[in-house]
Amino acid sequence: MEEPNAIADAELLRQALAGDEAMFRSLYERLKGGIYRYAFYMTNSRAAAEEVTQEVFITLLDKGKSYNPGQGDLGAFTFGLARNIVRRVERRERGWRARFQDGGLDEGALLAAPEELTGNLLRGERVAQVRAAIAALPDHYRQVVVLCDLCELPYAEAAVRLECAVGTIRSRLNRAHALLAQKLKLLGDVANAMRDAGAEGCLT
């Protein structure tokens, strides 16, 4: 019997849909990390990321037969599922972002931080602020920041995922960075702040 690790994603899905639970578990283990990280960076919520991940695999079992390998890899297909589910979750839980819509962060909260806080705690504060600011961006800007900056996808691959031109990816990313610079002006070096927020592979 062929080892699951040596089987392509599309074949794992085919066998999983045929009722092979071991193949489904292998597919789940292979894809869940990227889906979870994408959903987390998009929503800034662990609970939402867990919900999205679960819903992606439920939907994959329900609608997986509609996947056509000739139209792209399974990563792109699951990205489309995750993207739609993230949007649905966001519509339900949109209100929490309101405090970032005024164009700035909570300056008072940052300035009130006691001097004895360690560097690690301050870094954790910055990571939380960066991730929250990213989650508050309009969807078309947030998508490119998550895919290109946090998931480190090449522009060409992000363009395929988002079904737009590479030039559009570049312009959206530039605009997104400008918006983040405004939101994160109290944090100093935005580029370093973005790196601190964590770059992990997503939906590859």
- pLDDT the model gives residue 110: 35
Q: SS in 3 state form for the chain? A: CCCHHHCCHHHHHHHHHCCCHHHHHHHHHHHHHHHHHHHHHHHCCHHHHHHHHHHHHHHHHHHHHHCCHHHCCHHHHHHHHHHHHHHHHHHHCHHHHHHHCCCCCCHHHHHCCCCCCCHHHHHHHHHHHHHHHHHCCCHHHHHHHHHHHHCCCCHHHHHHHHCCCHHHHHHHHHHHHHHHHHHCHHHCCHHHHHHHCCCCCCCC
- pLDDT the model gives residue 118: 45
- pLDDT the model gives residue 124: 65
Task: Give the domains, in start order, of the chain with CATH numbers.
Answer: 8-92 (1.10.1740.10), 103-196 (1.10.10.10)
- pLDDT the model gives residue 201: 52
The predicted model scores a pTM of 0.74
Please list the pLDDT of the chain residue by residue as tens digits (204 residues): 556 666 899 999 999 999 999 999 999 999 999 999 999 999 988 999 999 999 999 999 998 999 988 888 898 899 999 999 999 998 887 655 444 444 444 434 333 344 444 444 445 667 788 888 888 899 999 999 999 988 889 999 999 999 999 999 999 999 998 888 888 775 455 556 666 665 455 655
- pLDDT the model gives residue 109: 37
